[in-house]
C-alpha cells in the first residue's frame, strides 16, 4: 500500500511538472501564441511586398515591350524633366495665397 502511494505521488509530481512545462515553459503555449502572431504579421508584410514586386515586374515588362519607348519617354519627362529638341519648357509657379495680401498692405502703406 505504501509503495502504491509513493508511485501515485511520483506520477502526480511528474504530471504537474509536465503541465507546468506545457503551459509556462520554453516552447509552451505562450510561446506558440506569440510565434503565431509573428507569423500572421509576417504574412501581412509579405502580401504587401508581393504587391509591390508585382507592380515592379509589370513596369519592367512595360519598359521591355515593343511600345516601351513611350514608357521610357514618359518616365524621362516626368522624373528627369527632359524635353525633346524643339520643345519649349514652361514652369508655372503659383504664389501662396497669404503672401499677396501682405504685399498689398505694405504697398498701400507706402502710398501717400
26 lies in some domain: yes
72 lies in some domain: yes
Q: What is the mean pLDDT of residues 100-110?
A: 55
Q: What is the pLDDT of residue 13?
A: 94
78 lies in some domain: yes
Rg (the chain; Cα; Å): 36
Q: What is the pLDDT of residue 76?
A: 84
Q: How many domains, in total, are found in the chain?
A: 1
Question: CA of 57: how far to CAs of 50, 63, 76, in Å?
Answer: 10, 10, 19
Highest mean pLDDT among 35-39, 74-78, 84-88: 35-39
pLDDT in tens, 19-54: 888 888 788 888 888 999 999 999 999 999 999 999
Structural domain boundaries enclosing 56: 2-83
54 lies in some domain: yes
Mean pLDDT of the chain: 84
Amino acid at each position: 500500500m505504501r509503495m502504491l502511494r509513493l508511485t501515485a505521488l511520483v506520477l502526480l509530481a511528474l504530471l504537474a511538472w509536465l503541465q507546468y512545462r506545457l503551459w509556462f515553459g520554453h516552447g509552451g503555449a505562450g510561446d506558440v501564441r506569440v510565434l503565431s502572431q509573428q507569423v500572421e504579421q509576417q504574412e501581412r508584410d509579405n502580401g504587401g511586398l508581393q504587391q509591390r514586386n508585382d507592380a515592379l515586374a509589370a513596369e519592367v515588362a512595360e519598359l521591355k515591350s515593343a511600345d516601351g519607348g513611350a514608357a521610357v519617354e514618359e518616365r524621362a519627362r516626368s522624373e528627369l524633366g527632359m524635353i525633346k529638341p524643339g520643345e519649349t519648357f514652361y514652369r508655372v509657379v503659383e504664389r501662396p495665397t497669404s503672401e499677396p495680401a501682405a504685399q498689398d498692405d505694405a504697398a498701400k502703406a507706402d502710398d501717400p
